Amino acid sequence: MSELASESSSAERPRERTPSPSEAPAASESSDANAAARVLEIDDLRVGYGSTVAVDGLSVTVSRGEIVALVGESGSGKSTVALAALGLLPRSARVEGTITLAGQDIGSATPEELRQLRGRGAGMVFQEPMTALNPVLTIGFQVAESIRNHDSQPRRHKHYDDRCVELLERVGVPDAAKRLKQYPHQLSGGLRQRVLIAIAIAAGPGLILADEPTTALDVTVQQQILDLIRDIRDTEGTGTLLITHNLGVVADIADRVIVLRNGKVVEEADTETLFASPKADYTRQLLAAVPKLGDTQHEDRHAAENAVLQLRDIVVEYHGRRVVDDVSLTVDKGEIVGLVGESGSGKTTLAQCALGLVTPKSGAVDVFGGRLDSKARRRLGVVFQDPASSLDPTKTVAQTIAEPLVIHTRTGRAERQRKVRELMDAVELPQSLLDRRGHELSGGQRQRVSLARAVVLGPDLLIADEPTSALDVSVQAAVLDVLERLHVGFGFGCLFISHDLAVVDRVCDRVAVLRGGQLVEQGPCATVLHHPEHPYTQALLLASPVPDPAAQRERRRPARA
Amino acid sequence: MTTIAVPTRFRLRGNGLAVVGTTILVLVLAFCLLGPLLYHTDQVHTDLGAARLSPGQQGHPLGTDDLGYDVLGRLMIAGRTSLAIGVLAGLLATAIGAIWGALAGYVGGWLDAVLMRIVDTGVAIPALFLLLVAATLITPSIGVLSLVIGCVSWLVPARLMRAEAATLRERDFIKAITVMGAGRFRVVFTHLLPNAVGTLVVAGTFQIAEAILLVAYVSFLGLGVPPPATDWGAMLSKGITYTYDGAWWLILPPGIAIVLIVCAINFVGDGLRDAFAARGRS
């Protein structure tokens, strides 16, 4: 461990890094400079619940001014590590090993010492900024609270206003003084995350624990937040333990990477080395599963056969606010059209117009050249984003897949069963799952069941609204494979909605980019995604991090300028 | 149903009050249903010669009432009436409320507005008043009383179910099945209602307890099932006349029976609610 720590502080790092640990302010109380440089030291951590093991022998050191990424898919135990570092694990957890935070042993700390460590030793940034902030308290109150908690003579919240403004300005919140009186719901997701970071650094901790800090954010906002984290590291010399599943984010910001799988460390290396020459098979698989822009060869398709979906001049308003503003889009038979945009761009609303779930204020929706009646619905399949809610929890897999058959046909029971079994093979699910219910399946399995249900009647149009956004990369890759194979087999036209440009590039023939309800650019993937014309598309492309540190550095330069 | 029963029973076991409630419920049911098979009494013919005997006299463990009926035996058959009406009325109320609320919550729009304003109006009229009017107009019997009580007490389950349906409607699986062309009835009966089973079972238990109380009120006011049939409310009502003569055995047994059964059902309902809530979380 100590070699690693000293190596990371002495080795020249390719990044522009201003302060060396010795210049970093505060944290010089300990006489031993090397120990002071280490803000978090986890040695052989083992965490278990009942008979399951969440973390199995993990050792990590984070020094001042260092960003260490803990990477893994869901269930790898990465979040448990962050909770353990702050002594926040539930009583039912069995914890072994030592955790030293700011020179203090978490295991033997008294509750009061723990309270002091939380905030002063390490600040925490959570994934979901909306739920991490209290919706009924003002921003000012919540930021002040975090300062007051570590004030030896706490005073009224108002007293800390100046310091709050200072903190909010530090994390790049515009009109900071005005924001103090606002509530979390009045702020955008990116601003909320900035507030959360302000709270995390309020007591001047040596370490920031960031648990998926950008996962809930749009790519352009994600980049700003990553820049902020990097900036805090550069100026305050704070160490960061970044927990993420996104290898692009890791390539962008981390100095060192630890890959976790099922609670075990699979590989540990500095970022350049890991991406350049991954040693473990699992790391290689992970890297291979991340879709990359430009990996897919697009053939020139001469489409313009008969359109299966035609949206013409669609306008949708909610309470007088335009969410979709005069958008026209066509999906031809057998063609996959990507619809890309950030949150609030109106892409889901547009899909719901096509599905008849939202009635546009003006404009025409043509499905198979006519209205969306029962006959047209028979030829329409749909897959939604959230695997947790897309299947009826009271129905078995077999019942779910067979439902469209029951609605639209008079197929007999035996015939239905045969058809369901056939589709289980098509989406590569074992027949043994037929009698399971939705909640007994994993996220990827549920999305496969959704796909099977969507294509059971052999549809001519499939509408997929972020079908893989909630899945781990390796699962996403497998589900996209299934989608592509089904597409080849059934030849349906598909409207594929995603925020991930690389996924769209992999799957789609054509792409349309939405921003604030307006169509910014549309055309073949090869043109729009590789030689974008519109500045917004260019910005979007630059903001999505790629899992390659060198390329990522290249990309960041123009984006920052 | 099997997938629901297993975790529920498991959870109930850990819940002290629910176990007590279930035990009392089983004992009372056995007492009312099996009791008369073991303990034979004449509950049809009056025997004025043996009227108002105090407990223990002439082989009557709980004494006799003013017409000479054995109180213990009468408690059993009265319980049958109270429980039968309670269960039937409770189930009826829950069923009406479930369908009403599911339609209102799922379809929404003007239908929701109309259906729920009807519920609001119904809540504004005291159920007891409606019940008394109905009971004076129609000759009461177990069937009629169940129907009437069921028809005046479905409002609360309707509101619960509407809230549940309005939430479920926004879930993706409901949207998906709508998009595929499923009709409203299919959505409501095969997807909405099965998913609201937890809420409905809990609401149903509380409805049964309430119906038992309602039937006791009505009978206490003398508008219950006609003699020689009786129920716990009617027993209480008759016993009240002799309270000042010290005939405690005429009012305590039916009174305690009502309190016991209502408490027991409420304990079970609370336990079920916790069990379903825990299932929803996991």
Beta-carbon neighbour count of residue A292 at 10 Å? 16
Q: Residue B103 is part of a domain; what is its CATH number?
A: 1.10.3720.10
Residue of B nearest to A440 (CA): B282
Query: Nearest Cβ partner of A377 from B174, B181, B195?
Result: B181
Please state whether beta strands A207-211 and A122-125 pair in parallel, antiparallel, or not at all (unpaired): parallel
Percentage of chain B exceeding pLDDT 90: 13
pLDDT, tens only, A10-32: 444 444 444 444 444 444 444 45
User: What pLDDT digit, counting tens, does each position of A366-422 carry?
Assistant: 888 888 888 888 888 899 888 778 888 888 899 999 999 998 888 888 999 999 998
Number of folded domains in chain A?
2
The whole-number average pLDDT for the span B93-103 is: 92
| Claim to verify: residue A54 and residue A118 sit in the same structural domain | yes
Q: Give the number of residues written for chain B.
A: 282
Cβ–Cβ gap B197/A407 under 8 Å: no
Q: Please indicate whether, in this complex, the C-beta atoms of A392 and B173 are within 8 angstroms of each other.
A: yes
Q: pLDDT tens digits for A76-102?
A: 888 888 888 888 888 888 888 999 988
A181 exposure class (CB count in 10 Å sphere: 0-12, 13-18, 19+): exposed
Same domain, A161 and A195: yes
Domain end position, chosen among A239, A258, A289: A289
Which residues of chain A does B171 touch, with a Cβ-Cβ cutoff of 8 Å?
A: 389
Compute the distance between CA of residue B182 and CA of residue B169 in angstroms, rounded to an integer.
13
Q: Is A307 helix (H, G, I), strand (E, B) or coil?
A: strand
Distance to chain B for A375, nearest Cα, Å: 9
Residue A213 corresponds to which amino acid?
A: P
Mean pLDDT across chain A? 84
Q: Which residues of B touch A (CB under 8 A)?
A: 3, 171-183, 186, 191, 194-195, 197
Q: Which amino acid does the sequence have at A300? A: D
Average pLDDT for A537-559: 79
Answer yes or no: do B180 and A393 touch at CB < 8 A: no
Place of tokens 């008369």: B36
Same domain, A194 and A51: yes
Tokens of A373: 């009646």
Domain of residue A398: give its range: 307-530
Task: Answer whether residue B9 is part of any domain.
Answer: no
Exposure of A353 by Cβ count < 10 A (0-12 exposed, 13-18 middle, 19+ buried)? buried
Per-residue model confidence as pLDDT tens digits over A268-296: 999 999 998 899 999 998 888 888 777 77
How many angstroms away from the CA of B67 is the closest CA of chain A? Answer: 55
Three-class secondary structure of residue B205 per DSSP: helix
Residue A550 located in a structural domain: no
User: Are residues A264 and A354 part of one domain?
Assistant: no
The Cα–Cα gap between B175 and A475 comes to 24
Q: Please give the pLDDT value at position A26.
A: 43
Model ipTM over 0.90? no
Q: Is residue B47 part of a domain?
A: no
Q: Do residue A394 and residue B186 have CB atoms under 8 angstroms apart?
A: no
Identify whether the C-beta of residue A155 lies closer than 8 Å to the C-beta of residue A148: yes
**Residue B229: per-residue pLDDT:** 79
Segments forming the whole domain that contains residue B104: 25-35+62-281
Whether A319 and A283 map to the same domain: the answer is no
Which chain A residue's Cα is nearest to B167?
A: A389
* Residues A188 and A74 placed together within one structural domain of the fold: yes
Cis, bond preceding B228 (omega within 30 deg of 0): yes
Contact by Cβ (8 Å): A470, A329: no
Residue A554 lies in a domain: no
Show the tokens assigned to B98.
């479930």
CA distance A395 to chain B (A): 8
What is the least distance, in Å, from the CA of A461 to any CA of chain B?
A: 12
Contacts of A381 in chain B (CB under 8 A): 180
**A223 belongs to a structural domain:** yes
Whether residue A447 is found in the same domain as residue A476 = yes
Report helix, strand or coil for B182.
coil
Encode pLDDT of B105-147 as tens digits: 988 889 999 999 999 998 888 878 888 888 778 877 888 888 8
Q: Which of A357, A365, A386, A392 is most worth mutating to test chain B (most B CB atoms within 10 A of its CB)?
A: A392
Give A457 to chain B, closest Cα distance, Å.
10
pLDDT above 90 for A242 = yes
Structurally, how many domains does chain B consist of? Answer: 1
Q: Do A221 and A351 fall within a single domain?
A: no
Instruction: Find tokens 């990465």 and name the residue.
Output: A78
Residue A344 lies in a domain: yes
* Partner residue opposite A437 with nearest CB, options B3, B178, B181: B3
Q: What is the CATH number of the domain that holds A203?
A: 3.40.50.300
Instruction: Check residue A560 and give its pLDDT.
Output: 53
Q: Same domain for A222 and A110?
A: yes
pLDDT band of residue A36 (cuts 50, 70, 90) is low
Contact flag A404-B180 (C-beta cutoff 8 Å): yes
